[in-house]
Amino acid sequence: MKKWTKEIEIDAPVNQVWGLLDGSLEDMQKIMPQVVDHKPVKVTDEGVGSIYRKKI
């Protein structure tokens, strides 16, 4: 399993950042260009606790 080890501080509203992480693959690649696939494994109604598989 790969792990991300780089840390950065993002100066943006949390809703804008979550939009990139919770949106389409193209949106996610704006902040993590190495991700080539993003598929749901388990999605909850409220979103909290949902699991996604990402391929690098």
Instruction: Give pTM, 2 decimals.
Output: 0.55
pLDDT at 4 over 80: no
The confidence score (pLDDT) of residue 55 equals 81
What SS3 class is residue 40? strand
The confidence score (pLDDT) of residue 20 equals 80
- Of the ranges 19-23, 32-36, 41-45, which one carries the lowest mean pLDDT score? 19-23
What's the residue count for the chain? 56
In this structure, which amino acid lies at residue 3?
Answer: K
Whole-Å CA distances, 11 to 17, 42, 50? 9, 30, 25
Give the model confidence (pLDDT) of 12-31 as tens digits. Answer: 898 888 888 777 888 888 88
pLDDT at 40 over 70: yes
